A = this chain, B = another copy of it.
Amino acid sequence: MSSQKDVVTFGEVMMRLTPPGYSRIRQTRSFDLLYGGAEANVAISLAHFGVPVEFVTRLPANDVGDACMHFLRQYGVGLRHVVRGGERLGLYFLEMGVMQRPSKVIYDRANSALATTKPGMIDWRTIFGQADWFHWTGITSAVSAAAAATNEEAVTIAREMGLTISCDLNYRHSLWQWGKRPPQVMPPLVQQCDILIGNTAELMLGMAPVTADSAEAAAYQMCEQLAGTFPNLKIIVITLRDTISASHNTLSAILWREGSFYTTPTYTLDAIVDRVGGGDAFMAGLIYGLRTFPEETQRVLDFALAAAVLKHSIAGDANLVTVAEVMELVNGRSSGDVSR
């Protein structure tokens, strides 16, 4: 229908089990259910923005895998290249934080279909033949040696085939249990990327820690350090979040593009509904902006941040908002008042 080429994202999608409201796992007698994961979240958001997107993963060939397919498909994410197989769908429990009590994630994703995916299982050349953009994150490499190898395979082939490649480092403290540490794995992959969200670069890439008077200043320095280390990077973003409480954050971002910096105002995020997926919403906004008005860097950054802001008002992992809704916030016409 569209003559646009696909954006492809690759990674693990999990069943998310959340006690209703602010209940703790020990209190609840039911879970709210959805399916999410960093790369799937980016795909869902892009589909909402009208971008043709294929999400690549491996799902077990049972009713749980089918249910996950149904969930992703409803939002218009392409699933043509999903591979079925493996023993189980990974899952995670999320206790929603509020006030001074932080959100809490318990992963149960070992031995999942994606964690047991090996190079050769996915036909990257066919997939990328219809695509011009590949997005991946540091989580896939964190899951297992097999997944890390498959991810490396994907990045390498995407590079060969000339796709634009974007990466969100996405450090996860409780993963990386399979033997290697992130700085042993990530730098050669980032070396092949065009666009990077560089938060946690110390932990993921072994960058030297930065000391500065402010978070902003530190972010500037880190961008320059990253630009020096990874000369292929054309765009580097660092988002700045201040966590006053689980319900009250602030959010801004800085973007480096071929030597120039761009900044945003700071949004107050109060009465946060669901903070999970805020970074993925940012990434989707960035990709959308770079594909739609590629030369307007400030507008790209503003769009990405506003998308991330709106995500905090949406229950679930993925940012179910349209381009028009993001634009209203960017343009300051969204007063938060009732539209009727």
Contact = CB atoms under 8 A, between A and B. Distances in A.
A99 B270 contact: yes
Contacts of A221: none
Contacts of A320: 24, 26-27
Main secondary structure of the interface of A (DSSP, over half): loop
Interface string A1-36: 100000000000000010011111111111111100
B340 A66 contact: no
A66 to B, nearest CB: 6
Interface in A319-337: 320-321, 325, 329, 334-337
- Contact-residue bracket for chain A: 35 or more
B101 A310 contact: yes
A262 interface: no
B33 A273 contact: no
Interface in A75-92: 75-76, 80, 87-89, 91-92
A184 interface: no
B340 A243 contact: no
Interface in A291-340: 309-310, 312-316, 320-321, 325, 329, 334-340
Interface of A: 1, 17, 20-34, 62-64, 66-67, 70-71, 73-76, 80, 87-89, 91-93, 95, 97-108, 110-111, 172-174, 241, 243-249, 267-273, 275-276, 309-310, 312-316, 320-321, 325, 329, 334-340
Given A97-B338, A102-B336, 7 more contacts: A26-B66, A99-B271, A100-B267, A100-B313, A102-B337, A105-B338, A275-B338
